[in-house]
Amino acid sequence: MAKIAFLQSSTFVPCCFHVPTSSQPLLIPGANRILVVAVMSCVYCANAIGADNTFEPYLGYTFGSDDNVLGLASDSQYLRLTGQADGSDTTSTARGGIRAVYQLSRQSFDLNAELSKTRYAHFQSLDYDGRNVQANWHWMIGNALSGTIGTTNVQSVGQLSNFQQLTRNLRTDGQAYGNAEWMVTPSWRVVLKGSKYALRYDLAAQQYANIDESRIESGLSYVSASGNNIGLLLQQTDGKYPNRTRFTGQNEDFQQNEIKINGDWLVSGKSRLQLLFGWTSRDSADAVSRNFSGPTARATWNWAASGKTSLIASLWKEVTAVDDVLAAYSVNKGVSLSPSWSLSQKVTMRGDLRYEKRDFQGSAIATFSIDRTASLTMAYAPFRNTLLQASRFMFSRQGNAYGGGYKRHGAMLTAQYTF
């Protein structure tokens, strides 16, 4: 039976900028390098020993088109900025990587590493080299204590539609994280999590958005015999902007505290509901006008309508950081639908619909954006190690954020071979 897995790419599909949680960055910190070396050593052993371990190198190539690369409102803006009549362009992306899993008794190590080169046909100043590395150690002690220690390091191009300049703006973000779950009794579970995250832009004019975040989280939940659980989460995030003062004249370092109820219910044999809601407060060091306090929530429903069709639906109201010098964060309200169909053992189709309104806080004027995204992807696995994928997307933005509204359409064709 052919195995189909949708490829993930952020080269063409527009998305809202989102900053996760943590600190150390760019280059993988010493401890993280040790973890990567350890995992790769395990991977080498796994490849030699065999058993249930996996080691999968792969190569892929993507051809894409985009009719509004920089996200400008009109063709006349492109003529002034680039000398071209419009903002359409095509790209080619070559990439190679490995996926590996190694089981050592009850411990599990996994590594996903990819390097890529993206080249533009016309806007060649945007060409860039990317990477995406993730390594994890999933550990277990006895039957009651388990968790994960991991690291990620990603280099990609900054959101072109937010920056709106014909200049390559690489962004590098790195994260180190760990969590532990302890089943104190068969019905009560304690969770502890910690992470450090750092985001860096290489373009001087964009470095006001550089950020370091450290997050700790603790929780207690009740787990029923059927697998349902409900609990209380406490979360604290400390954020620091290394360069913000040079641009705004204020110290905008912040502390964000959240207290939330977390629920996960098996509604039926075919559906699952996950709910997270509570209160979020955000206090800035000097910029009091950029503080926030209010309710936040996210609900996700997974429905397996049949053996071949499924649907994931989400609703949310959240507070996230933004790459905007006038606003330190945005309050986002949105909804998304992601249906999937397995047309046969070799063909799978997936759709994505997303609507989100972002209200940017801390600016002297009311700034907002309304983003609508629709995409359709078809994956075809003609042979066990070969995957072909075609996708089409449409995006529109309304509002006065990031230079105003615009529309964008594009497509991608991808071929990948796993050795």
CA distances from 233 to 44, 262, 299 (A): 39, 7, 15
> Tell me, what's the pLDDT at 326?
66
3-state secondary structure of 308: coil
Cα end-to-end span (Å), the chain = 17
Q: Is the dihedral of CA 17, 23, 24, 30 positive or negative?
A: negative
Q: How far is the C-alpha of 115 from the C-alpha of 95, rounded, in Å?
A: 6
Judge whether 278 and 300 are in contact, CB under 8 Å: no
Residues with Cβ within 8 Å of residue 77, at least 6 apart in sequence: none
Tell how far CA 249 is from the center of its chain.
31
Q: What is the pTM of this model?
A: 0.83
Per-residue pLDDT of the chain (419 residues; tens, 9 = 90+): 445 666 654 444 333 333 333 333 334 444 445 444 444 544 454 455 455 799 999 999 999 999 999 888 888 888 888 888 899 999 999 999 999 999 999 999 999 999 999 999 999 999 999 999 999 999 999 999 999 999 999 999 877 766 667 888 899 999 999 999 999 999 999 999 999 999 999 988 888 889 999 999 999 999 998 889 999 999 999 999 898 888 777 788 889 999 999 999 999 889 999 999 999 999 887 765 668 899 999 999 999 988 899 999 999 999 988 776 667 788 999 999 999 999 999 999 999 999 999 998 877 677 899 999 999 999 999 999 999 999 999 999 999 887 789 999 999 999 999 99
> Tell me, what's the pLDDT at 95?
97
Q: How far is the C-alpha of 403 from the C-alpha of 72, rounded, in Å?
A: 8
Class of domain 30-418: mainly beta
Q: How far is the C-alpha of 256 from the C-alpha of 245, rounded, in Å?
A: 19
Domain boundaries, the chain: 30-418
Judge whether 369 and 358 are in contact, CB under 8 Å: yes
> Tell me, what's the pLDDT at 15?
36
> What DSSP assignment string belongs to 69-132?
TT--S-HHHHHHHHSSSSB-EEEEEEEEEEEEEEEETTEEEEEEEEEEEEEESS-GGG-EEEEE
Judge whether 252 and 289 are in contact, CB under 8 Å: no
Judge whether 87 and 74 are in contact, CB under 8 Å: no
Q: Which two tokens stand for residue 24?
A: 């150390």
Taking alpha carbons only, the member of 413, 272, 340, 387 closest to residue 3 is 387
Residue at token pair 């994890």: 136
> Tell me, what's the pLDDT at 3?
52
Judge whether 99 and 108 are in contact, CB under 8 Å: no
Residue at token pair 């954006």: 369
Q: How far is the C-alpha of 95 from the C-alpha of 212, rounded, in Å?
A: 29
